[in-house]
Structure 1
Amino acid sequence: MRKLWTIMLLTALTACSGLTACSSRGGEVRPTAAVSVGDAPSAPEDVATGLAVPWGIAFLPGGDAVVTERDTARVLRVTPTGQVTELAKIEDARPDGEGGLMGVATKEDQVFLYYTAEQDNRIVRYRLTDGGLTDQQLLVQSIPKGGIHNGGRLAFGPDGFLYATTGETGDRDLAQRRDSLGGKILRMTVDGAPAPGNPFGTLVYSYGHRNVQGLAWDGSGRLYASEFGANTYDEVNRIEPGGNYGWPDVEGRGSDQSYINPILTWPTEDASPSGLAYANGSLWMAALRGARLWQIPLGEDGSAGTPVAHFADRYGRLRAVATAPDGKLWIGTSNKDGRGNPRPGDDRLMSLTPS
């Protein structure tokens, strides 16, 4: 037993070398599970290149992906072999700052989009046909919009309901107001109505968020979210219905028991997290400013092990990550978003086999 614990300690120390997520400094959260990762994932291979800020990725039953471009407002269909077809350009979208065409989710022949319109952020449903996207239906409107912090992720949970993340647009007080859709995680039916069992009888599922841009469920159906911090700590939270995650009163970990603490935090220079996916027992988190893919192994109880960084600074800013039907991870760069340095072929979609 003593030998086992020695090996585990050495593994954790090795993984933490150069990684600040394991520090005991300030509000940074230590790993809570004695879980380590296996072999490093395979090197990514290009699926498609020459894109412009691919923000969201969702898969169709046959394995093709529906991909959104934030700043062009284009919706693309991308095959695993790299064929790119434009399905639509969303004329109502108004890309500006951190807003534009963002999240996408699919269910059978339906495509759900989250985008910034003239006056608000909204969620809209379309029908996917051979001709592209048709039968537009507005599901949710009046989500606060701003030059920053628009949230934007869409994903279907294992319960069959649609989840959406929103930001507080820089108006910090919105996050604590349960009568506002800003700074929340929302849960709804395919028609945009509050899902049965929502904690407040409204669309609001959790609150006290600054700017959530990643959602993922583990194999037991537990929900996790990646969230931008302000100046100090980015977060991964395990989401509970009705939970208050503390913003703006707390950034990172706090001592007020009325708020739910994150399971992990990072200094903002190492993360600025966006997309989040689950595969092979780990969360996989795309980092923008951190320019790396974080792997977070999870314990059987959903606790977080020592995070490991992959591909640091190799591909620039990473924004999108999603698990394909064949088990591979698709990753999108974001080097044309005005904060990166585009490289030949950017922006690109890549795929890899997770460890």
Structure 2
Amino acid sequence: MLFKVRYLLLFTVNLWLFFLSFTSSAGVNAETYSLNQEEILISQLHRSVDRGLLNEIQENGLASIAGAVAAAMVGVSWEGVGNIISDGIYSGNPLYLDFTVRALLKGTTMGAMAVISRAYLKTPFDLLSRPLTWVGYKHQQVSDRVYHKETSAELSEKYAEFFNPVAERLTRQVELVFDIPAYYWTISLMDMGAPNAFATSGYNIGIYHSIFPLAKSQAGMACILGHEMGHVLAEHIGQRISDLIFMNVIAVSSIPFINAIFQNHETQADEIGAYLTALAGYDPSECSKVWERMTTFAGDRREMGNVFMSSHPTNATREKALNELGEQLQEYYSNRQEKLGLGLEFIL
């Protein structure tokens, strides 16, 4: 009898705790729900930036091994090219062919090393690249000042009024999420020709004035700036240097496969940019529309040729991926308290 009473009491207590927890969870307000959604989004952003080995194998493993094997078996022999230059055109063969098991094993090993290096050695390579990329960045700044007319004070003020709030919001979000101080970033607006933007290791970013009309809104600019910040956060420069070493780009035959990896880097940076756009309070669905405007402005390459010839995906591919991601991010964006929408529109 005592045994039955004990279990009856336990059942009653557990039932009461169940209803208590249900009542508490039913009373969760929109602010708590939004906070939970933000935590999920930040977690997804971290995973997008810090890809592990398994993810690296899934995304780039096949291209890495195929590219390294191709470089080991077929390519340009720089020793042969040197002989031709020094001794004459008939003195040597600049190409080499090696379809042996040894070449296959060598290529497979180097491809595997490229994947491991991309996952675990990207930070050392990124640090090594900083002096060189800093020189390149300074060269771009000097070239802009020397070869282009100085922007008028009135126009510079318009660019700053449109751009600075976006930069402040995104660098602030990166500081909160990754503990990277906002003042680390150097972002230069440049008067170059074709619409473009670029990033180097060491938190340096260049944005061309000509891309402002294609950004169209501050949300669009957040997508562009967030993309370039994504390259820096994911340490793509360091990864690319390791690829040059392990995949033997000098052989030339590995270049199409390296391009496939670079295209994945661009997709990854697009993804990071969309996350940062949403966290900064701008509408992330605008990111896909930026690439729609890019296509209208400059057209788009054919998909088949682009696979082998370009380090960037086609505009259509990027637009589709960002459209899908933008739809996924709407649940978070619609529930956040501060929504900036598209922000200011850029008007010259």
TM-score normalized by the length of structure 1: 0.25
Q: Which structure ranks higher in relative contact order (CA pairs < 8 Å, sequence separation ≥ 6)?
A: 2
Larger-Rg structure: 2
TM-score, length-scaled by structure 2? 0.26
Bigger share in helix: 2
